[in-house]
Structure 1
């Protein structure tokens, strides 16, 4: 697994501009450093930060959301690499962001399917939550996991509001494929390739089609209402869910 080390930047100011998909992370950081040295930064809105345990799927989804909608995020790092071991990587990201941005809001996006059945992973997750419990309680850090994965969040964009327990990627992809494959310019490859490989994901067409006609708002409504209904009867563990909706409600 590739683990990117955080770039060190002395006295770097707050991130007040959303990350632009057309600009590399290195170029953004160089620009920020130049602005800091010359005192030319124009302060404005501090956009929320997104860190993710995914690689390409989440990376391009949020980058395209930045470009296509009024939702704006700082995506750190711009290239997620493979940060599936989020319990090790996320604390570094969070500390780095908060050291420069005391007013930051940070959304932590990751999949739950490989965590909930593994006792060691659950202990690491609990330790991660414990370390940032104050930030979680005051809303600075927001846990946005999906069961089984981000693909379930995508499924909620369509008419099929599935609440049954889909335990893994295979289960959710079977339900998702007929809906999301037509969103791509070339829907012929298998879904796993479409949702994992950069050459398919970098074209924003799939996200544009995914969120058109109020489908993003629909997914947000479904995800929130499904979770609230399940929690009311203490039955969330017996169904799929996604807390990604919190990003779009600003919670």
Structure 2
């Protein structure tokens, strides 16, 4: 039995999904090609999205994502509101380190980055605001996965794990062990999983129900020495954000730091 044709809403969403970080401006023909829609259908849908404000047309006839989508996205409870609460603490953490300071939430099996503060001399990172990376390969992602519902953890553990470097977590069994360590320790140190030159030190952010709703991290050069020296500052910033969100546990003093980190076999 043939599959039913995609709905109008599915086709509209496919138009928006045609845009990506490397393709922020597209022509009508490119949108039609990327979506697989007939040119006439793409023209009609693009016109509707442009009239609504979801797309904007530039002077050369190309299309870009419109501000109307930013306005709606800002209403997400895990988006702008969380970022605004976290910003004073992220700025303090940046002033203390002058390295990459990041705020992320979990979306499926990915860490989505809501904010990143970065100095001119900070180590190179591949993250960007609004971007996503596999959670298992990042410090913030490991923290978020470690406190995610069981079914989300099992989904991540069951997937093939892409190796970015020879230090990336190589298997679901190893990921399961790492997540247990992160839960027990209360933080994550991810050393060279995405890029060998960088180490991420991450801690969880709790809400008024003490659920982990976000994670923050500092990413520093791997050659700079002991990442554990950053833990007090990262945990203090995470605790400050949690306290601002009403977390009961954030009012208690943190426990001692145990010196453990993930190290994948080469």
TMscore range, shorter length: under 0.3
The two structures have a TM-score, normalised by structure 2, of 0.26
Larger helix fraction of residues: 1
Structure number with larger C-alpha Rg: 2
Looking at both structures, which has the greater relative contact order when contacts are Cα pairs under 8 Å and sequence separation is at least 6? 1
Larger strand fraction of residues: 2
The two structures have a TM-score, normalised by structure 1, of 0.27
